[in-house]
Structures are given as structure tokens and as C-alpha cells.
Copies of this chain bind each other. A is one copy, B any other.
Amino acid sequence: MSHAPAKAFLRALAGETVTPPPFWLMRQAGRYLPEYREVRAGCRGFLDLCYSPDKATEVTLQPLRRYGFSAAILFSDILVVPDALGQAVAFKEGEGPKLPPIRDGKALAKLSLEGFASHLAPVFETVSRLSKAIPAETALIGFAGAPWTVATYMVEGSGSKDFIETKKLAYGQPDVFKALIDLLVQATGDYLITQIDHGAEAIQLFDSWAGVLPEDEFEKWVIAPTQRLVERLKRERPGIPVIGFPRGAGALLLPYVEKTGVDAVSLDTGVPLEWAAKMLQPKVTVQGNLDPILLITGGEAMDRAIDRILSTLGRGPFIFNLGHGILPSTPPEHVARLAERVKAWR
């Protein structure tokens, strides 16, 4: 009797050096693919796509068929969590998301976990279907936004440049903001555990706006809630690895890795490779970090950058990825070239 070898992606997350490294790309299901645009055109709105198991399953699978990624990531959006808590989210064509902003205890009190799971039932159904549909060697990643990043959208009511309203609340009324973060830790934990129960084999926490906070506020609103969330996942669903992506954290990546308990950290484009190899990779698996615009550029500039990442990080526990999501103007053939190059590396 022999054990089938575990999936390469999960072995890397367990701390193994896998050669060539497993690879996937943030936003690998997306607008750069014509077959995605076709499915998207048949939806009323963006959230409609997230809440349609047929369509969400299909778009998740599309890039796997083309490129043979080592992992599939559930197609969804980080804002389904506030949406399911009762803060209705709207995506208008050509604009970012809009939400009725939450800036005091009264607005916060209207949110509720009642009906949360049933609102998200279509997402869980998508996870179930994906879990059966993906190839045997491919891992399935579930995900959520980290509490801080989701809170910025909830307080600003949209995307933001300065995060003035969120920071005013966090700095000036920390009790109210803490209550919002606590609710998100609870809701996000429930959400991720149910994803795991439907077949997600690893979790990624997207903290896209982690980089805008000063050190002590980063401790309070990025590290502490992530640590609580990871602790609960590890306690209630042991063995499921967690990847954190605190984008723009800079030198704060080190305390993030040391304190949150994540199994892996996803590196944004700006993280220096040798620093990551020396400071982070001895502690956790690292993932990243090709500039998505090098994937638009393609050619030898892209090849050189891929090789540099592979040679600096590929001799330890590593997953190849971008430093940020794929951009819509990316030529699909450049993704094919990247996939070939990573797969051929020894």
C-alpha cells in the first residue's frame, strides 16, 4: 500500500520545499480571460456572479483548464461578508463598491449574524461543487478579507485613498471600532469554517490595506484580529493552513509573521526577495511576488523577474504567485509563458 503524495500546494504550505514550486495567481479567474468576460456579461451585477454557484464554479475552473495552476481559489469577493451582515453592497459598472457607511455604534448595531450563513449559502455551494470538480492534484483555496481591510470598506462606504473615516473611528472611538472588528472576527471565522466544511483545503486572508497603519495601530487592527481568527481556525479546524497577505506592511511583515500564527505569508511586489528569504522564509512558507505589470509586459523582462524570484525563494518552502492581482489588460498568452517557465524550473 502506498500513500498518494499530497498535493504540491499543500506540501509547500506544510513547510516542504517543492521543486518546481506550486503556483497560482491572485485573480486568476478574471477579466483578462475572454471566457470569463462572457460569463460575466450574462450576470446582472458582480455580486450576482459571486452568488451563482453555476457561474462562480465555471469561472473558478476556467484558468485551471488553460494553465494547470496548483490551486483553485473560490471565486467570490471580500465584501460578501458585510453584505451578509446586513450592510448591502452595490457594485456599479466602472466604479468601485458602494455601501451605506457605518461610522457609529447605532449603525453598527443594525448589523447582525442572523441570516448570515443562509445569505452565504450559494458561496458554500460553490465551494462544494469546486471541491468535486477540480483535478485531483489541484488544491482548493477558500478566502476572506481580513477584518481591518473589510472594516475600511464598511466605514468609508467605498474604496478610499486616505482612509480618513476609518482611521478617525479607530483612533478617536476605539471602542466602537473594536466592536466592529470583533463582529468581523466572529463573522469571518464562521464564514471560513463553513468554507472548510464544504471542501476548502487552505485559507487566504486578504489584508489589502494593512500597509496604511502606524505600527501600534497595525498591532491592534491587523495583527491582533488576524491572530484571533487564525487561533480559532487552528482550534476548530486543525490541519487547514492559513496564508496571510498584509499588503504594503513593509518591515511590519516580520511581527505579522511572528505573532499571527499564519502558516504562510503572501508578499506584495515591493517586498525585497533576499530580505524575505532571510527574515521570513525560515519561519513560514512564502508566496509571491511578481509585479502584475511584468505579466502585462511579458517577454524577457518578465522571464528575468520570474527567474530571480525562483532562484531567491525557490530553494525553501515557496509558492509562486504575483505580488497583487492580475490586471484586466493582461495578455492570456503571457500567463501561459509564465506557467511554462515556473513548471520547467529545477
What residues of chain A have their CB less than 8 Å away from a CB belonging to chain B? 162-164, 167-168, 171-172, 174, 211-218, 248-253, 255, 269-273, 275, 289-294, 296-297, 299, 301-302, 305, 308, 323, 327, 329
Contact = CB atoms under 8 A, between A and B. Distances in A.
A327 B252 contact: no
12 contacts: A164-B293, A171-B302, A172-B301, A211-B270, A212-B270, A213-B291, A214-B291, A214-B294, A215-B273, A217-B291, A218-B270, A249-B270
B248 A299 contact: no
A299 B249 contact: no
A54 to B, nearest CB: 31
A174 to B, nearest CB: 8
A164 B296 CA distance: 9
A151 B250 CA distance: 24
B296 A214 contact: no
A305 B270 contact: no
By secondary structure, the A interface counts as helix
A269 B255 CA distance: 17
A305 B219 CA distance: 14
B294 A171 contact: yes
A202 B86 CA distance: 54
Given A214-B291, A269-B212, A297 B327 contact: no
A309 to B, nearest CB: 9
Given A167-B297, A297-B167, A297-B171, A251 B271 contact: yes
Given A211-B248, A212-B269, A251-B275, 17 more contacts: A162-B292, A162-B293, A162-B327, A164-B327, A164-B329, A167-B291, A168-B296, A171-B302, A172-B301, A213-B269, A215-B270, A215-B271, A215-B272, A216-B305, A248-B250, A251-B251, A251-B271
A221 to B, nearest CB: 12
A291 B305 CA distance: 34
A253 B248 CA distance: 13
Contacts of A255: 272
Contacts of A164: 293, 296, 327, 329
Contacts of A305: 214, 216
A163 B294 CA distance: 12
Nearest to A288: B214
Contacts of A163: 293
B171 A293 contact: yes
A44 to B, nearest CB: 26
Contacts of A327: 162, 164
A91 B162 CA distance: 20
A168 B297 contact: yes
A218 to B, nearest CB: 7
Contact of A214 (B216, B269, B329): B269
A227 B305 CA distance: 24
Contacts of A272: 215, 250-252, 255
